Amino acid sequence: MTYALTSNGCDTLRDTIISSLLHTFDEHGITRSRDTNGIQFVIHPIDASSPAPYRRRSQSVIVISIVRIRSRPDDLKGFCYTTLIRSLSNLLVCIVAPDGVTTPSDAEVYFTTPEAGFYGVTYDDHTLFSKIYPIATAHYSTANTLVDDLPERYWSGSPKVDELRTYARELDTLGVLPTPFPLRELLPEADMRHLYRMFGMTGLSYGNLSVRERIPGFSERSFWMTARGVDKAHLGPVGRDILLVRSFSYDEGTAHISMPPDGWPKARVSVDAVEHAMIYDRYPDVGAIVHVHAWMDDIVSTRQNFPCGTRELAQEVSDLLAQTADPRRAVAGLKNHGITVTGVDLEDIFRRLRQHLLTEVPMYS
């Protein structure tokens, strides 16, 4: 496994921490490469005032940005998340240390992920490596193939689609649908084009819903799911805001999306489609799935905060469901992220959400 290191000015403390991290990579057989072809991830030092993005050549390249700030802003979480987005990173490591701090162990270190995970740790080389490694080595499965093969009787939806719209609006009333993040307010047009080219993203929103719909003679694996970056409280037409996943290729990391003839060519299904597809394939009695950035008490939870849309997260969530009393009607916690809830249908899921949902996700180092 190989990685690359970019350069950005000189900050003695930041660069000391990065040097120690690279030494730990070397101890684990992870090799730095001067050639960016075929690398798994990039360590990307950035400047807090101007966090320039690393322009990855492939979606599979994970970008770990590291920034040092000298004073703690009033809203550190907001600062870190904004910096993460502006640098187009998969993980932001923020080092908070005033002038005069030269020893890494005296600095505060915070991690921020696109899933709105945010937590601090006490610095040491092993801790830094253990938090970065699972993210740096994860594999995205978010590609889409759009094909105009949706049967005509589904061009305007179905009763299942109507249910999905109804319950998506209810998520808004439960207080777990924040306003879609205003990417265009932070990113120049060139970065927006790069984001779409790499990840098929035209916007950033949280949570998703899906409902199984087996279509005889067409697909036994198909399910409807909310699209990427849409406002779930105001879902639009099939082929734009709601998409039919006919099948999923895990080897290729690609969802086959069946589109109506007037479908939006830039539409992409939620990045969590790989997780939903894996659950539907493994548990044939699951009829619906909801993912929200919220929590419930007394649930099983993943041990790593793998990124959304990676096969590692999908596999861990699928395995967690097998540990529950009834995978058809279960809740799996995603560390520092949210929950995935299964049910025989959407009403079954929302009956439990109304009773037990906690809008605050606990954060763990």
What is the CATH number for 347? 3.40.225.10
Q: What is the pLDDT of residue 186?
A: 58
Domain limit, last residue, from 102, 136, 170: 136
Specify whether 119 is located in the same domain as 243: no
Specify whether 126 is located in the same domain as 151: no
Helix residue ranges, H only, 174-326? 183-186, 189-199, 273-282, 311-322
Displacement of CA 189 from its chain's centroid (Å): 22
Q: For residue 94, how many C-alpha atoms fall within 13 Å in the half-sphere facing its CB?
A: 27
Specify whether 149 is located in the same domain as 103: no
Pairing label, strands 31-32, 62-69:
unpaired
Specify whether 121 is located in the same domain as 152: no
Q: Is 325 part of any domain?
A: yes
CA distances for 239 relative to 101, 145, 206, angstroms: 54, 13, 19
Q: Which domain holds residue 196?
A: 143-356
Angle at 231 (CA atoms; ends 317, 56), nearest 5 degrees: 65
Specify whether 260 is located in the same domain as 296: yes
Cα 343 to Cα 327: distance, rounded to the nearest angstrom: 8
Cα 353 to Cα 365: distance, rounded to the nearest angstrom: 26
Please write the tens of the pLDDT for every residue from 275-303.
Answer: 999 999 999 999 999 999 899 999 999 98
Q: Is 361 part of any domain?
A: no
Weakly modelled stretches of the chain, pLDDT under 70: 178-205
Displacement of CA 256 from its chain's centroid (Å): 20
**Tally of helices (H runs) and strands (E runs) in the chain:** 9, 16
Count of other CB atoms within 10 angstroms of residue 332: 25
Specify whether 289 is located in the same domain as 342: yes
State both tokens at 4.
């690359």
Domain limit, last residue, from 103, 136, 169: 136
Q: Is 48 part of any domain?
A: yes
Specify whether 225 is located in the same domain as 198: yes
Q: Is 349 part of any domain?
A: yes
Specify whether 116 is located in the same domain as 159: no
Angle at 192 (CA atoms; ends 191, 196), nearest 5 degrees: 115
Specify whether 132 is located in the same domain as 163: no
Give the three-class secondary structure for 152: helix
**Residue type at position 9:** G
Q: What is the pLDDT of residue 205?
A: 60
Domain limit, last residue, from 136, 168, 200: 136
State both tokens at 58.
């492939």
Structurally, the chain folds into a number of domains equal to: 2
State both tokens at 270.
């939620």
Specify whether 116 is located in the same domain as 193: no
Q: What is the pLDDT of residue 130?
A: 92
Q: Is 6 part of any domain?
A: yes
Q: Is 126 part of any domain?
A: yes
Sheet holding 118-122, edge to edge: 31-32, 2-5, 41-45, 62-69, 91-96, 108-112, 118-122
Specify whether 165 is located in the same domain as 42: no
Q: What is the pLDDT of residue 182?
A: 58
Q: For 249-261, give one letter per residue: b (16+ CB within 10 A) or e.
A: eeeebbbbbbbbe
Query: Max alpha carbon distance in the chain (Å)?
Result: 70
Q: Is 228 part of any domain?
A: yes
What is the CATH number for 100? 3.40.50.10300
Q: Is 364 part of any domain?
A: no
State both tokens at 74.
């009033």
Q: Nearest-CA neighbor of 47 among 72, 88, 83?
A: 83
* 26 Cβ contact partners less than 8 Å away, ≥ 6 residues apart: 32
Specify whether 204 is located in the same domain as 291: yes
Q: Where are the beta strands (DSSP E) in 48-151?
A: 62-69, 91-96, 108-112, 118-122, 143-147
Pairing label, strands 143-147, 254-258:
parallel
Sheet holding 288-292, edge to edge: 143-147, 254-258, 242-249, 223-226, 208-212, 288-292, 338-343, 331-334, 300-301
Give pTM, 2 decimals.
Answer: 0.89
Count of other CB atoms within 10 angstroms of residue 84: 25
**Residue type at position 328:** R
